[in-house]
Structure 1
Amino acid sequence: MPNLDTFSGNWTEKEARHLLKRSSFGVTQNLVTTSVSLGLSGTIEKLFEENPLPEPPLKYLLDGVGNDEINDPGANYGETWVTSPPYPEVATTQERTRIYNSRNRSMYAWSFLQMQNAEISIREKLTLFWHNHFVSENSNPHREYYYTDVLRRNSLKNFKELVKQITVDPNMLIYLSGSQNTESAPNENYARELLELFTIGKGQAFGNGDYTNYTEDDVIAIAQVLTGWRVRGVQQTEALTSWFSNFNHAKGNKNLSHRFNNAVISENGANEYKDLIDIIFKQDECSRFISRQFYIWFINSELSAEIETNIIEPLAKIIRDNNYDIVPALKVLLSSEHFFENTFCMVKSPIDLMLSATKSLLFSAPKTSVNDEYNFAYVLYLAATDLNQSYLHHPDVAGWKAYYQEPLFYKSWINSYLLPKRLDYCRIIVSGGDLIIDEKKYTVPPLVPVLLIASRITNAQDPTILITELSNQLFNYPITESQITTLKDILIPGLPDFEWTVEYSNYINNPSDNAMRISVDNKLRNLIAVMVQMSEFQIM
């Protein structure tokens, strides 16, 4: 029977790798070794440490007027554009559009760098979770940055307070028409999503406009509560903050339905939305709703009646007991026997896949220049986008289908069109080559340090040990004897084991022999390029 009892088994590399894969992006052997030394409780504490926030994104295109250059009045090369005005004062609309595009690209690349560079920390995984939970979109890079900054700053904090901040965030007010919601022209977009997608869920219909957790009349009343919030145009000062217009606010009390115990929200001007959210969060279903979202994100998409009773309900109680601080519940969930029983049941998201194929194989952004570093990360963003997970650009307000659409859930990431692309992108990251995205070519050099990876495996001159250890690192569970035999044939086609033993040993003894080095590098690269295309690498 599933339960939230603390995992009591042996803490080995297998368990450490499972926890780190699910709670972060990509796992190096060094991080696994550190986690094993920390133990389960030590790793959990490390994951939830409050680390300093990252420095803001930089202008990474060189100064100039060429195709790969830009003159941004808000920032020189290597400086952040975040502190500059959100509306560049330039001569033409075309110039402004180019500046916006360069800042957008910087924002996307920088976001991938945060995920790539995070070590034993859950913050970036939770930031992406909230990004998928509170879907919002805006083409202005400043508003994108400040929105994700709210998510990152609050990623380990209080769910209820985050909902309050999101409700009056300029990005969300624009995206779901909250800035157009006035007493004379009420707009129900945000009110509806606040209930259905962000806090409590819809549930089954019991009558016309009456659902398990709210009614259509509640949507109407909540829209009135939220009237009056405005956002200034991007050309204006204070464009990045919202403001309250009492003139546009619907006055008087607002009455909620029996679903909220007929609560009355009294007139309270600019603070009325806070009163509303406090009332919504008095419903226990809010804790169950977010518990299910965490469960699907971190554990499994199958929410059976047994899971509801033995996992969701006690998890929800922990959240309520902590007044919607989420960390205590997540620590229990990720430390549980149930978490470590649910392995290899989740198809990696495109972002997880791309960062598994880079970080796990010690392929990091080049440190030669800001331009090189950001260009590397931007290609990862484009690849994930091409695989249907576009950061900051969801398909709809419900988020990515993998986390809500039954019955496929994670399988949404794979179909006859996407799977060949996934496999090819993984291969190219290892072997190098050209990624063709939207008919544009991006060249990926063969920078995975395959010789370094092999050097960290004891007795790598034995092809069985080499392949077994690589599979443990990449797949986190044993492969079959027949798979090992097949992979040996990739490493040393048609040759006996000792041929690899001799060649690798000769290389170790003569590392300055360039021809020998190239030969061993090619063999290892071919082997690992095949392994990252195996179905075992697609799941975690």
Structure 2
Amino acid sequence: MPHLDKYSGNWSAKEARHLLKRTSFGVTETMVSEAVTLGLTATITKLFEEKPLPPPPLKYEPDGTGRGEINDPDVNYGETWVTAPIYPDLPTSQERNSVYRARNRSLYAWSFLQMQNANISIREKLTLFWHNHFVSENSNPHREFYYMNILRKNALGNFKELTKQITIDQNMLIYLSGNENNNSSPNENYSRELLELFTIGKGVAVGNGDYTNYTEEDVVQIAKVLTGWRARWIRHADPLNAYFTNSRHTKGNKKLSHRFNNAEISENGDQEYKDVIDVIFKQDECSRFIMRQFYIWFVNSEITSEIETNIIEPLAKITRDNNYEITPALKVLLASDHFFENVFCMIKSPLDLMISATKSLLTVAPSSSVKEEYEFAYIMYLACSDLGQSIFHHPDVAGWKAYYQEPLFYKTWVNNFFLPKRLEYCKILVAGGDLLINKKKYKVPPLVPVLAIARDITNATDPNILVKELANRLFNYEITDGQTDSLKAVLIDGLPDFEWTVEYGDYLANPSDSTLAISVDKKLRNLVAVMVQMSEFQIM
């Protein structure tokens, strides 16, 4: 029977890895060691620590008009474009669009770097959760950054407050037609998604236009409540803040259905949107709805009637008791027996996969310059997009199918089209080679420092210990003797164990011997490249 009792089992590297893999992107052995030392309670506390917002994205393409260069006169190389004019003063729209695209690339690379560099913190995982929950899209990099900044600032905070902020975010106003919603022609796009996808969920149909949690008339009335909000023109003096036009707002009171206890929203001008959101959040189903989303995101896609009763409902009550602050309930969930029982049941998202194939293996993006660091991160962004998870560009307003589409859920990441690419990309990140993305080649050097990884393993001169310890780190559980033998065959090509013991021992004794180093590096790299293509590496 599932329950939320606090985990009381053994706290070791295995449990620490499970917690960190689900709550962050890429888990290094340093993170694991720190978590083991801290213990479960202190690790949970550290995961939820409020941290300053990261410095904003930088211009990483040098000045110029050649390939890999950009003419953005308002920003110097290595400085942020976020504070620069949103409408670059350039002679042609073509030049202006080039600047926008360069800033977009910077934003996408920077977003990947935030996930890669987060360490023991749940904020980036939650930022991505909210990005997949409050789906929005806009081609303007400043508006995209501003929208994502709202999510990041509120990632560990209050669900109801975040809903209010997102409702009048310019990105969202444009994406779901709120900008066109006025008293002469109310537009229901946002009011429908506010109910169905963002706050309470539809439920099953019980009558004509009547669902379990709201009615079609509620969609109409809430659309009227939200009339009058506009997004500013990008050449305006204050282009990132929405504004309210009272003359476009539907006057008078708006009455909701029996699903909301026939609540009446009084005429309240530019504060009316807050009033209707408060009414929506008075319904207990809002707390259940968001806890189901978190459960799928962090634990498992299967929500049985027992889980609904024993996990979702108690978490929902904690959320309501805390006026929709999400942290208290999430801390209980992630510290529970139930969480630590749900292992190896989640297929890694492309972002989890790519970062676990780099950061987890001690790989860091080239950091000799801003340009190299951002270029590497942008390639990783493109790789994730090619595997079906493009930040800032969801397939539709419902988000990525892996988190809502029954019965496949996470299995959508590994269909016949994506799986071969996933395996190939993992191999290339270890062994080096060309990532072929949209018919364009991106060269990736053999970045994973396999020699350093092996040196970190005690008694790695024994190929059995080496293989099993690598498996513990990469897969987080022990492999069979048969798998060990198969992987040893990759390492030493079917030769006796002592062949590796002698060769690796000689290397450790003479690390400056380039011939030995190249030979050992090649063997280790081939081994790890095979391991990251195994099905065990695809799950967490």
TM category, shorter: over 0.9
Amino acid at match of 2:268: N
Match of 1:74 in 2: 74
Match of 1:223 in 2: 223
Amino acid at match of 1:183: N
Q: 2: CA distance between counterparts of 1:26 and 1:433? A: 22
Match of 2:161 in 1: 161
Q: Any residues of structure 2 matched to 1:40-439 within 5 Å, and which?
A: 40-439=40-439
Residues 294-326 of structure 1: CA deviation (Å, up to 9, x unaligned): 000000000110100000000000000000000
Q: 1: CA distance between counterparts of 2:73 and 2:254? A: 48
- Give 1:239 shift: 1.3
- Give 1:458 shift: 0.2
- Give 1:74 shift: 2.1
SS in structure 1 opposite 2:90?
Answer: coil
Amino acid at match of 1:126: L
Residues 432-489 of structure 1: CA deviation (Å, up to 9, x unaligned): 0000101111000011110000000000000000000000000001111100000000
Runs of 4+ in 1 over 4 A off after TM superposition: none
Q: 2: CA distance between counterparts of 1:20 and 1:146? A: 28
Amino acid at match of 1:334: L
Residues 36-92 of structure 1: CA deviation (Å, up to 9, x unaligned): 000000100000001111000000001111011001122111010000111111011
Q: 2: CA distance between counterparts of 1:239 and 1:52? A: 25
1:512 aligns with 2:512: yes
Q: 2: CA distance between counterparts of 1:94 and 1:523? A: 50
Match of 1:530 in 2: 530
State the TM-score, normalized to the length of structure 2: 1.00
Amino acid at match of 2:464: T
Match of 1:29 in 2: 29
Structure 2: gaps spanning 5 or more residues: none
SS in structure 2 opposite 1:296?
Answer: helix
Q: 2: CA distance between counterparts of 1:492 and 1:296? A: 41
Amino acid at match of 1:363: T
Q: 1: CA distance between counterparts of 2:494 and 2:363? A: 30
Question: Percent same amino acid among aligned pairs?
Answer: 72
Residues 104-125 of structure 1: CA deviation (Å, up to 9, x unaligned): 0000000000000011000000
SS in structure 1 opposite 2:69?
Answer: coil
SS in structure 1 opposite 2:357?
Answer: helix
Residues 384-425 of structure 1: CA deviation (Å, up to 9, x unaligned): 000010110000000000000000000000111110000000
Amino acid at match of 1:96: R
SS in structure 1 opposite 2:453?
Answer: helix
SS in structure 1 opposite 2:230?
Answer: strand
Q: 1: CA distance between counterparts of 2:139 and 2:160? A: 27
Amino acid at match of 1:198: F
Q: 2: CA distance between counterparts of 1:232 and 1:165? A: 16
1:4 aligns with 2:4: yes
- Give 1:512 shift: 0.6
SS in structure 1 opposite 2:358?
Answer: helix
- Give 1:232 shift: 1.3
Residues 478-535 of structure 1: CA deviation (Å, up to 9, x unaligned): 1111000000000000200000000000000000100000000000000000000000
Amino acid at match of 1:47: L
Amino acid at match of 1:456: D
Residues 133-185 of structure 1: CA deviation (Å, up to 9, x unaligned): 00000000000000000000000000000000000000000000001100001
Q: 1: CA distance between counterparts of 2:160 and 2:207? A: 29
Q: 1: CA distance between counterparts of 2:530 and 2:91? A: 51
Aligned residues: 540
Q: 1: CA distance between counterparts of 2:168 and 2:74? A: 27
Q: 1: CA distance between counterparts of 2:99 and 2:40? A: 46
- Give 1:282 shift: 0.2
Q: 1: CA distance between counterparts of 2:108 and 2:374? A: 9
Amino acid at match of 1:141: P
Q: 1: CA distance between counterparts of 2:232 and 2:8? A: 55
SS in structure 2 opposite 1:360?
Answer: helix
Match of 1:487 in 2: 487
Q: 1: CA distance between counterparts of 2:171 and 2:85? A: 16
Q: 1: CA distance between counterparts of 2:247 and 2:414? A: 50
Q: 1: CA distance between counterparts of 2:377 and 2:99? A: 19
After superposing the two structures, state which structure 1 stretch, 186-195 or 71-80, moved more: 71-80
Q: 1: CA distance between counterparts of 2:462 and 2:94? A: 60
Amino acid at match of 1:112: F
Q: 2: CA distance between counterparts of 1:402 and 1:472? A: 26
Match of 2:461 in 1: 461
Q: 2: CA distance between counterparts of 1:419 and 1:115? A: 23
Q: 1: CA distance between counterparts of 2:326 and 2:447? A: 39
- Give 1:235 shift: 2.1
Residues 345-402 of structure 1: CA deviation (Å, up to 9, x unaligned): 0000001000000010011111100000000100110000000101100000000000
Residues 323-351 of structure 1: CA deviation (Å, up to 9, x unaligned): 00000000000000000000000000001
After superposing the two structures, state which structure 1 stretch, 70-79 or 377-386, moved more: 70-79
SS in structure 1 opposite 2:124?
Answer: helix
State the TM-score, normalized to the length of structure 1: 1.00
Q: 2: CA distance between counterparts of 1:358 and 1:51? A: 24
- Give 1:101 shift: 0.6
Q: 1: CA distance between counterparts of 2:459 and 2:158? A: 49
SS in structure 2 opposite 1:442?
Answer: strand
Amino acid at match of 2:71: N
Structure 1: gaps spanning 5 or more residues: none
Q: 2: CA distance between counterparts of 1:429 and 1:196? A: 40
